[in-house]
């Protein structure tokens, strides 16, 4: 996280699928008015899939995207919260 209430928080995710959102115990999003289930991270043979049912609120690289494979440097935005995606070797 590099902006918002959770700025400077770092998550290391080693397995999936995982869900993030305001009601998630696994990956809680503290942003006010964030959706209950903001987005999912789903491993696929092609890479890590970002999926949201709220593409009007949860943006990827400031664009509305329902689902897309994540790349290093992508930014997930929920209102004022911004999360930069990174991958470890």
Q: What is the pLDDT of residue 33?
A: 94
Which helix H or strand E contains 20, and what residues bound it?
A: strand 18-21
How far apart are alpha carbons 75 and 1 in whole angstroms? 9
Report pLDDT digits (tens) over 26-44. Answer: 999 999 999 999 999 999 9
Report pLDDT digits (tens) over 68-81. Answer: 999 999 999 999 99
pLDDT band, residue 3 (cuts 50/70/90): very high
Find the mean pLDDT for residues 7-19: 89
């Amino acid at each position: 996280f590099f902006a918002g209430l959770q700025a400077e928080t770092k998550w290391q995710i080693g397995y999936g699928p995982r869900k993030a959102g305001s009601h998630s115990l696994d990956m809680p999003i503290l942003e006010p008015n964030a959706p209950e289930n903001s987005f999912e991270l789903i491993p696929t043979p092609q890479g890590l899939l970002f999926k949201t049912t709220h593409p009007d609120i949860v943006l990827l690289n400031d664009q509305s995207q329902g689902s897309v494979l994540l790349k290093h440097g992508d930014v997930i935005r929920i209102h004022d919260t911004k999360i930069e995606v990174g991958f470890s070797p």
